[in-house]
Structure 1
Amino acid sequence: MQTFDELLREAEIAHGHLCAGQILGVRMAMLGCQRLGIEEPKGSDRKRLVTFVEIDRCATDAIAVVTGCRLGKRALKFQDWGKMAATFLDLATGKAIRIAALESSKQRAKDLYPHIEQKNQQQMLAYRELPEEELFSEQWVEVPLHACEMPGYKSPRIACAMCGEGINYDREILRGGQVLCRGCANPESRYYQPIPEESTP
């Protein structure tokens, strides 16, 4: 695996700036790979790893850089829990470990650098040097991953009977003998609301 400094530089470029979350994300992902025995997540081990992230913030970009897991490769899974945590799943062994940032690490950063007023600067310095046990909790977990969730899974593309849009990866819903997409089957669950054509700008 690349060094911490090399990976942090890549994460900074990918994310657009360096922050405490980037440092946590790089260290979290390196630890996850280490615990699973994955030495080259972007090389010879690239098809072994699936990563679940629980927040859409800086650390997630860093985790993607370290692991090589990408949403478009179906190897990065987003669970919107608002937690600075990730679960690393080794497809070759079925082993998975969930790693979460400890809230106490923020206070440790203050304790280490009381003379620095800016919180992000305190954390950036502290998160580089604190031992893993002061930064993270670790828990071995089971992650049931269905075939349709696997990277490389292929399925027929089916058209929604209402909107006509194609549906991939077994995401269709069968209702009243019709194949529907999730948006048409449950309009209230859409993340968007259509604007009537007469009101379209």
Structure 2
Amino acid sequence: MDSLDELLHQAERAHGHLCAGQILGVRMAILGCRRLGIEDPRGKDRKRLVTFVEIDRCATDAIGTVTGCRLGKRVLKFRDWGKMAATFVDLASGRAIRICARESSKVLAKEMYPQMEDKNQQQMLAYREMSDSDLFTEQWVRVTIGPSELPGYKGERVVCSLCGEGINFNRFVRRQEKTFCLSCAFPEDRYYQPIP
């Protein structure tokens, strides 16, 4: 794996800027891979790792940069829980570790650099230097990933009886011998509403 500085540079290029969240994400991913014994997540170990992220912020882009996990490869899974946390799953061993940023790290950053008024700058410096135990909590967890969630899964592709759009990976509902996409089956849960 590349050095912390090199990974931060790659994360900055991929995300567009470097911030405290990017540093947390890079360090979180390094720690997760290290705990699982995954030395080269973007190379020889790339088919071993699945990562679940719990926030749609800067750290998620950094985690993807370090691990090589991407939504399009079906190895980055997003759970919108609003937490600065990620779970790293080793498909080869079945082991998984959930790593969460400690809220206390913000206070510690302020204590480390009280002369700095800019909170982001305080955190950026401190998050490079803090120990893993000051930055994160770690918990070994069990994650069950079904075959339809894995890369390369070739599931049934069907067409929605109402909107006519194609649906992949069993993301449909059957009612009264008709097939509906989740958007048509549960219109109240749509993230969009059609304009007539």
Q: TM-score range by the shorter chain?
A: over 0.9
The letter for the 2-side match of 1:166 is G
Secondary structure of the corresponding residue to residue 87 of structure 2: strand
Number of residue pairs aligned between Structure 1 and Structure 2: 196
The letter for the 1-side match of 2:162 is M
Q: Tell me which residue corresponds to 1:83.
A: 83
Q: Tell me which residue corresponds to 1:15.
A: 15
The letter for the 2-side match of 1:125 is L
Secondary structure of the corresponding residue to residue 163 of structure 1: coil
Quote the Cα distance in structure 2 between the aligned partners of 1:164 and 1:93: 41
Q: Tell me which residue corresponds to 1:106.
A: 106
Quote the Cα distance in structure 2 between the aligned partners of 1:20 and 1:152: 35
Secondary structure of the corresponding residue to residue 183 of structure 2: helix
Quote the Cα distance in structure 1 between the aligned partners of 2:123 and 2:9: 17
Quote the Cα distance in structure 2 between the aligned partners of 1:80 and 1:150: 20
Q: Tell me which residue corresponds to 1:36.
A: 36
Taking only aligned residues, the RMSD between alpha carbons, in angstroms, comes to: 0.5
Measured against aligned partners, the alpha-carbon deviations of 1:146-196 in whole angstroms (never above 9, x if no partner) come to 111111111121101111100001111111111110011111011000000
Quote the Cα distance in structure 1 between the aligned partners of 2:183 and 2:107: 44
Is the counterpart of residue 150 in structure 1 residue 150 in structure 2? yes
Quote the Cα distance in structure 1 between the aligned partners of 2:161 and 2:16: 42
Quote the Cα distance in structure 2 between the aligned partners of 1:175 and 1:35: 45
Measured against aligned partners, the alpha-carbon deviations of 1:1-34 in whole angstroms (never above 9, x if no partner) come to 1111111000000000010000000000000000
Secondary structure of the corresponding residue to residue 80 of structure 2: coil
Moved more, 108-117 or 148-157: 148-157
Q: Tell me which residue corresponds to 2:131.
A: 131
Q: Tell me which residue corresponds to 2:3.
A: 3
The letter for the 1-side match of 2:179 is V
Secondary structure of the corresponding residue to residue 56 of structure 1: coil
Q: TM-score, normalised by structure 2?
A: 0.99
Secondary structure of the corresponding residue to residue 88 of structure 1: strand
Quote the Cα distance in structure 1 between the aligned partners of 2:175 and 2:190: 17
Q: Tell me which residue corresponds to 2:70.
A: 70
Q: TM-score, normalised by structure 1?
A: 0.97
Measured against aligned partners, the alpha-carbon deviations of 1:88-109 in whole angstroms (never above 9, x if no partner) come to 0001111000000000000000
Secondary structure of the corresponding residue to residue 162 of structure 2: coil
The letter for the 1-side match of 2:177 is G
Q: Tell me which residue corresponds to 1:199.
A: none
Quote the Cα distance in structure 2 between the aligned partners of 1:3 and 1:154: 37
Q: Give structure 1 stretches of 5+ with no counterpart.
A: 197-201
The letter for the 2-side match of 1:123 is Q
Q: Give structure 2 stretches of 5+ with no counterpart.
A: none
Runs in 1 of length 4+ with deviation above 4 angstroms? none
Measured against aligned partners, the alpha-carbon deviations of 1:49-94 in whole angstroms (never above 9, x if no partner) come to 0000000000000000000000000000000000000000001111
Quote the Cα distance in structure 2 between the aligned partners of 1:178 and 1:140: 42
Q: Tell me which residue corresponds to 1:162.
A: 162
